[in-house]
Structure 1
Amino acid sequence: MGSNKALLPLQGIPVIERLVRELDTVVGRVIIAGGNQPEAYSYLGKEIFSDVYPGSGPLAGLHAGLTAAETPWSLAVACDMPFASREVFEWLVERVRTAEKSSGPEAIIPVVQGRVQPLLAAYRRNVLPGLEKELQAGSLKMTRWTEGLHAEYADGAEIAAATGLPLEQIPFNMNRPDDYRQALDWLDRDHKGNA
Structure 2
Amino acid sequence: MTAIILAGGKSRRMGFNKALLSYDKKTFIEHQIARLKTIFDEIIISANDAAVYAHLNLPIVSDIMPEKGPLSGICAGLIRSSSHHAFVVACDMPFVQEKAILCLREHIGDYDVVVPQTSRGLEPLHAFYSRNCIQPIRQCLDEGKLRIIDFFPMVKARIIHEQEWKELDGSTLSVTNLNTPEEYQKYFGHT
User: Normalization by structure 2: what TM-score?
Assistant: 0.86
Alpha-carbon separation, structure 2, partners of 1:154 and 1:66: 21
Which of 89, 100, 115 is 1:88 aligned to? 100
Runs of 5+ unmatched residues, structure 2: 1-13
Q: Does 1:150 align with 2:156?
A: yes
Which of 151, 176, 179 is 1:172 aligned to? 176
Change (3 A) 1:175 1:26: same
Please give the residue correspondences for 1:55-134 in structure 2 after superposition, counting only pairs within 5 Å: 55-96=67-108, 99=109, 104-134=110-140
User: Per the alignment, in what secondary structure is the counterpart of residue 53 of structure 1?
Assistant: coil
Deviations 1:19-45 (A, max 9, x none): 111111001100001x12211111111
Tell me if structure 2 keeps the 8 A contact 1:23–1:89: no
**Aligned amino acid, residue 179 of structure 1:** E
- Aligned residues, how many? 177
Alpha-carbon separation, structure 1, partners of 2:80 and 2:31: 22
Structure-1 residue corresponding to 2:20: 7
User: Per the alignment, in what secondary structure is the counterpart of residue 30 of structure 1?
Assistant: strand
Tell me if structure 2 keeps the 8 A contact 1:105–1:151: yes
Question: 4+ residue stretches of structure 1 with deviation over 6 A?
Answer: none
Tell me if structure 2 keeps the 8 A contact 1:80–1:174: yes
Tell me if structure 2 keeps the 8 A contact 1:82–1:183: no
Tell me if structure 2 keeps the 8 A contact 1:58–1:142: yes
Sequence identity of aligned pairs in percent?
Answer: 29
Runs of 5+ unmatched residues, structure 1: 189-195
Structure-2 residue corresponding to 1:193: none
Which entry has the higher C-alpha Rg, 1 or 2?
Answer: 1
**Aligned amino acid, residue 105 of structure 1:** Y
**Aligned amino acid, residue 178 of structure 1:** E
Tell me if structure 2 keeps the 8 A contact 1:120–1:171: yes
Tell me if structure 1 keeps the 8 A contact 2:63–2:73: yes
Tell me if structure 1 keeps the 8 A contact 2:97–2:170: no
Structure-2 residue corresponding to 1:191: none
Q: Does 1:23 align with 2:36?
A: yes
Alpha-carbon separation, structure 2, partners of 1:61 and 1:22: 21
**Aligned amino acid, residue 11 of structure 1:** D
Change (3 A) 1:80 1:114: closer
Tell me if structure 1 keeps the 8 A contact 2:28–2:92: yes
User: Normalization by structure 1: what TM-score?
Assistant: 0.84
**Aligned amino acid, residue 39 of structure 2:** V
